[in-house]
Amino acid sequence: MREAYIVDAVRTPVGRREGGLSTVHPADLGGHVLKTLVERTGINPSKVDDVIFGCVDQVGAQTMNIARTAWLSAGLPEEVPGTTVDRQCGSSQQAAHFAAQGVLAGAYEVAIAGGVENMSMVPIGSGFTAGYRAGYGHPMGGEGWRERYGDQEVTQFRGAEMMAEKWSISREELDRFAFSSHTRAARAWEEGRFDREVVPHGDVRRDEGFRPDVSLERMASLRTLAEGGRITAATSSQISDGAAAMMIASAQAAERYGLTPRARFHTFALAGADPVMMLSGPIPATFNALARSGLGIDEIDLFEVNEAFAPVVLAWAKETGASLERTNVNGGAIALGHPLGASGAKLMTTLLHELERTGGRFGLQSMCEGGGTANATIIERIFSSH
C-alpha cells in the first residue's frame, strides 16, 4: 500500500502587521521557504511533480497563481508546475491534503504543499472589498443564500461571539486562554523549540507577535469588539505575514532521492457546520478524523487547533474532551499570528517538529474556515527504529 510521507517542513517567522516582513512581496516570501526546502532536502528540484499553495486573498500581489510565481521567484525550474487553492483559513492544510492524496493515488511521487499570506500588503477581505466597490456583487447576495440565511451579519467576529455564548465561555476564561498562548510561545522561543522549523528572513529571525510581558490585568482592561460581547483584540488571532512549506513524497521517491520520511499522513477528514457561526467546524472534523482513524482522543499525543479566536479552541476542547495541556503547546495564533493562507502548513510544520522533540506518535490538526468548513489531519511520526 502506498504511503505519503512528510520529509521536511519549514516556515518563516511570522511577522506582525506592518512589521519586518510587511514589505516583502508574497511571491518572494513563499519563494524563500520553497528554496530553503529544496536546499535542506538536497533534492533535484526538477523532480518535484507539483507545488500546491494556499492563499486566501488572491488579489493584487497574491493573484495570478502565487504557487507558480513563488516557485519561479525562487529561481527554481520552469518545468515544475504549481497551483493555488482557497479553503479560506485552512487553505494550506487543504494544500497538504491534496499533495498527500496525490502521492497516495500515484499521481505524484514528490509534491510540495504550503501557503503564503502578506496581510500587511494585501489586507484581509481585499478580494471582497475590491470587487464589491467595483460593482461586481456580494458573495452572499444571491437569491438562494438570502432565502436560506436572510441578510443577517455573517462575520468571523459574530461567529466567535456566538460560540462563546453557546458554550458558556466567560470573558475571564477567554483571557486566561490568550494569556497561556503568549506564555507558551515565549517559553518555546526561550527553549529553542522553533529553531529547526523557522527559516529567518533578513533581519526577522523570530515570530514578532508574542508578548513575553503579557499581563492578565491589561487584557481585562481592553474593550470588547462588540458592545456587551466577550471577544477582545487580545482573544483574537493577529493580522500577520508569513509563509510555510513541506515536502511530501512516496516511499519509493524517498529511497530514490535520499529523503528521510519523518511522518506519514494517517487520516484526512473534512466537515461542514453552521456557516453563520462559521468557526465550529473543527469539532465535527475532529470527530470525523477519529472515526476514520480508529483512534481515541487520548491516543493523540499533540493537537494543533488554530486559535482564530479563543472560543474556537475552548469549545472544541469541551466537545471533544481533548486535553488543553496537549493542545497548542507552543502557543497559537493569538500569540504567534495567523497569516491566513500559510497557517495550515505552519501548524503542520510545528506539529511535526514538536512530535519529534517530545517523542510523540500521533498529532491531530484542525482549523476553522470561512463558510463553516474545517479540515482535520492526523499525522504519525516515523520512529527512527523504522
**Residues 3, 106: Cα–Cα separation, whole Å:** 10
Which residue type, as a one-letter code, is found at position 211?
Answer: R
Its sign, for the CA torsion 13, 238, 167, 276, is negative
Do 25 and 272 meet the contact criterion of CB atoms below 8 Å apart?
Answer: no
Q: Which residue has the cell 527559516?
A: 199
Give the three-class secondary structure for 96.
Answer: helix
Best CA proximity match to 225, nearest among 167, 177, 157: 157
Q: HEC states along 226-278?
A: CCCCCCCHHHECCCEEEEEEEEEECHHHHHHHCCCCCEEEEEEEEEECCCCCC
Best CA proximity match to 369, nearest among 89, 116, 154: 89
**Residues 156, 372: Cα–Cα separation, whole Å:** 10
- The residues that bridge with 82 in the sheet, in sequence order, are 51
Do 175 and 219 meet the contact criterion of CB atoms below 8 Å apart?
Answer: yes
- In this structure, what DSSP letter does residue 297 have? G
* Catalytically annotated residues: 89, 338, 368
**Residues 109, 228: Cα–Cα separation, whole Å:** 53
**Residues 109, 290: Cα–Cα separation, whole Å:** 27
Q: In 77-125, which residue ranges form alpha helices assigned H by DSSP?
A: 91-105
**Residues 86, 62: Cα–Cα separation, whole Å:** 12
Do 345 and 54 meet the contact criterion of CB atoms below 8 Å apart?
Answer: yes
**Residues 55, 83: Cα–Cα separation, whole Å:** 10
